[in-house]
């Protein structure tokens, strides 16, 4: 064959050309993906989305993964954001959107309820304004199980439920906050 007949220096030159061509293609794909909103990590995707919303600087409070979806909670001294990213095309991540909330630290209630739904998952977020709250229970009623929030990161607790095909996201229910001794601190009915 022609390849076997080439001298060794020509074979090396050909290999370098092939490697350079592949590298150029990969660099081009990464740059096009980045410009188009595709990222190589879910966290980079979410952080860029938050910068676009002028939400910075902020600290990552929590990260949760379910399948090919990632959810992040970021906060600073006066606002927090809950945003998601989803794997696409095998190696890239795109944003699935989210929400930001201002002045959460100035709330009058013992705890605040928030959430996010992206059609596949429903996220519940509780922020406790009073550090003596150790547990918040959400009773959705209608025979559905009670959701317990008792793992805290910087006074936030997140729970995720996967949605069934016909199920719509709902945060309706009775929320009860308890202190370390099990005493009821506050009850809220939402909405």
pLDDT at 5: 59
Closest CA to 45 of 56, 54, 33: 33
Tens of pLDDT along the chain (191 residues) come to 555 656 778 878 888 888 888 888 777 766 655 555 778 899 999 998 888 888 878 899 999 999 899 999 999 888 899 999 999 888 889 998 888 888 777 778 899 988 888 888 889 999 999 999 999 999 998 888 899 999 999 999 999 888 887 677 788 999 999 999 999 999 999 88
pLDDT of residue 159: 92
Handedness of CA 145, 155, 99, 88 (dihedral sign): negative
Q: What is the pLDDT of residue 4?
A: 60
Dist. CA 189–CA 172, nearest whole Å = 8
**Would you give the DSSP letter of residue 91?**
T
The predicted pLDDT at position 49 comes to: 87
Per-residue model confidence (pLDDT) at position 120: 84
pLDDT of residue 35: 57
Instruction: Give CA torsion, residues 41, 42, 48, 53, to 10 deg.
Output: 180
Determine the Cα–Cα distance for residues 145 and 179; give it in Å rounded to an integer.
Answer: 21
How many Å apart are CA 50 and CA 39, to the nearest integer?
14
Residue 180: predicted pLDDT = 96
Note the pLDDT of residue 99: 84
Residue 67 φ/ψ, nearest 5 degrees: 60, -125
Residue from 38, 134, 35, 17 nearest 85 by CA: 38
Report the pLDDT value the prediction gives residue 70, as an integer from 0 to 100: 95
Peptide bond before residue 145 is cis, with ω within 30 degrees of 0: no
């Amino acid at each position: 064959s022609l390849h076997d007949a080439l001298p060794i220096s020509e074979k090396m030159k050909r290999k370098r050309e092939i490697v350079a061509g592949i590298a150029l293609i990969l660099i081009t794909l990464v740059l096009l993906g980045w410009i188009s909103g595709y990222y190589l990590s879910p966290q980079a995707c979410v952080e860029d989305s938050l910068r676009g919303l002028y939400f910075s600087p902020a600290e990552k409070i929590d990260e949760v993964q379910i399948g090919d979806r990632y959810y992040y909670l970021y906060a600073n001294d006066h606002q927090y954001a809950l945003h998601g990213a989803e794997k696409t095309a095998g190696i890239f991540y795109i944003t699935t959107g989210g929400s930001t909330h201002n002045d959460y630290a100035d709330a009058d209630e013992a705890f605040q309820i928030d959430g996010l739904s992206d059609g596949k998952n429903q996220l519940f977020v509780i922020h406790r304004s009073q550090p003596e709250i150790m547990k918040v229970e959400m009773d959705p009623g209608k025979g559905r199980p009670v959701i317990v929030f008792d793992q805290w990161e910087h006074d936030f607790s997140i729970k995720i439920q996967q949605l069934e095909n016909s199920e719509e996201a709902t945060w309706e229910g009775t929320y009860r906050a308890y202190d370390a001794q099990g005493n009821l601190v506050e009850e809220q009915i939402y909405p």
